[in-house]
């Protein structure tokens, strides 16, 4: 598994299939444990991710780690983390359709190699990349979707991106952070059954 992932990473390092390659500092390929139980797919690298070459290392990543830790999970032992695209879009804009398409082979290879049982789709871009236009994240977050052949039948759950939670800091019942707490508990229950 590690060797196959490294082969894809090496291919990605020399990728110039879209304009994002022109402005990247580093490719942001993956982090966490290559674990067939759970994969998290984020949207795109940000400033800190581009700088360090790892996904979710800025404030949003620190919050993601706290969310996992709240139910006894961690990227080091439980979750494989990647993004829909491997290079940072300028000004942290959403990746464009042709950029997602150019990077699709790398994401598909990661899914094929890891063969996860659970895939967390972190934010709208990740949801649209895998599930298509099934609705906005606020309507579909916390619901399980059955993955098709593209994800080898994995169970998919859309979740709020931690950057959204940082911008919506209320902990009131029904608020984004409260909803995320419900979602991570449901994810942990399913994870523990595997």
Q: Confidence band (pLDDT; 50, 70, 90) for 170? A: confident
pLDDT of residue 132 exceeding 90: no
Confidence band for 166, pLDDT divided at 50, 70 and 90 = very high
CB-based contacts of 147, cutoff 8 Å, min separation 6: 119, 130, 153, 154, 155, 156
Q: Residue holding tokens 């006894």?
A: 72
pTM: 0.95
pLDDT at 177: 94
Which residues pair with residue 81 across a beta bridge?
31, 40
Pick the CATH number of 2-193 from 3.40.50.300, 3.40.470.10, 3.40.605.10, 1.10.357.10: 3.40.470.10
Task: Specify the pLDDT at position 35.
Answer: 83
Residue 161 pLDDT exceeds 90: yes
- Is residue 3 very low, low, confident or very high in pLDDT (cuts 50, 70, 90)? very high
3-class DSSP state of 171: coil
Question: How high is the pLDDT of residue 115?
Answer: 95
């Amino acid at each position: 598994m590690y060797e196959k992932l490294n082969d894809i990473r090496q291919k990605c390092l020399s990728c110039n299939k879209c304009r994002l390659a022109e402005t990247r500092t580093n490719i942001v390929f993956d982090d966490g444990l290559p674990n067939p139980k759970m994969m998290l797919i984020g949207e795109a690298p940000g400033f800190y991710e581009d700088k360090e070459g790892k996904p979710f290392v800025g404030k949003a990543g620190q919050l993601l780690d706290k969310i996992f830790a709240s139910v006894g999970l961690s990227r080091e032992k439980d979750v494989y983390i990647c993004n829909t695209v491997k290079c940072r879009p300028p000004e942290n804009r959403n990746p464009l359709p042709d950029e997602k398409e150019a990077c699709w082979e790398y994401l598909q290879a990661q899914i094929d190699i890891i063969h996860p049982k659970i895939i967390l789709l972190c934010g709208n871009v990740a949801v649209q990349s895998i599930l298509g236009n099934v609705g906005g994240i606020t309507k579909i977050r916390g619901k399980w979707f059955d993955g098709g052949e593209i994800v080898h039948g994995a169970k998919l759950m859309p979740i709020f991106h931690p950057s959204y939670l940082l911008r919506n800091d209320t902990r009131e019942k029904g608020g984004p952070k409260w909803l995320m707490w419900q979602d991570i508990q449901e994810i942990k229950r399913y994870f523990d059954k595997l």
